[in-house]
A = this chain, B = another copy of it.
């Protein structure tokens, strides 16, 4: 997310944890593939809605061995993509992003600067090469080359909060 706190150094009201989350290493992650997108630092849209408005699509390229995991997915289906957005600091527990009026806790923000920098994008499959392990997606706000951690089917009965209705 361009303009997010830690990329430019601390701002007024920001609070650090007092330890580096990296130093704990309670569990380890395996990269399963990478996002290929038109975006780099300075050009990426600020979120998935803005990315969708650009009309630029993207794709996920899985690493060798992971392609059989796509069996059962289809074009038009919505998926949740978890990706790794580690861009430096992981200890900023209170942040002052430019788009909010004052400091806010990291768990109330979608900032990439967080203790575990896992980002989540809900996107639609636009093409699928299950043999090569390549998934076309309708949009992403991720930089080209961003490591992918997981893909899950989006399921309305569990992924929409109870009682939520879209505005008419």
Q: Which residues of A approach B to under 8 Å, CB–CB?
A: 15, 17-19, 21-22, 24-32, 47-49, 52, 65-66, 68-73, 78-80, 82, 84, 86, 90, 93-94, 100, 103-110, 114-116, 118, 120-124, 138, 147, 149-162, 164-166
Contacts and interface: CB of A to CB of B under 8 A. Distances in A.
9 tightest CB-CB pairs across the interface, nearest first? Answer: A72-B108, A71-B105, A21-B30, A78-B161, A25-B28, A72-B104, A107-B151, A69-B105, A24-B30
B19 A25 contact: no
A162 B49 CA distance: 9
B152 A17 contact: no
B66 A27 contact: no
29 contacts: A22-B28, A24-B28, A24-B30, A26-B30, A27-B29, A27-B86, A29-B29, A30-B90, A69-B106, A69-B107, A71-B104, A72-B100, A72-B105, A72-B109, A73-B107, A80-B120, A82-B82, A82-B120, A107-B151, A107-B152, A110-B158, A115-B150, A116-B150, A120-B152, A124-B162, A138-B162, A159-B159, A160-B166, A164-B166
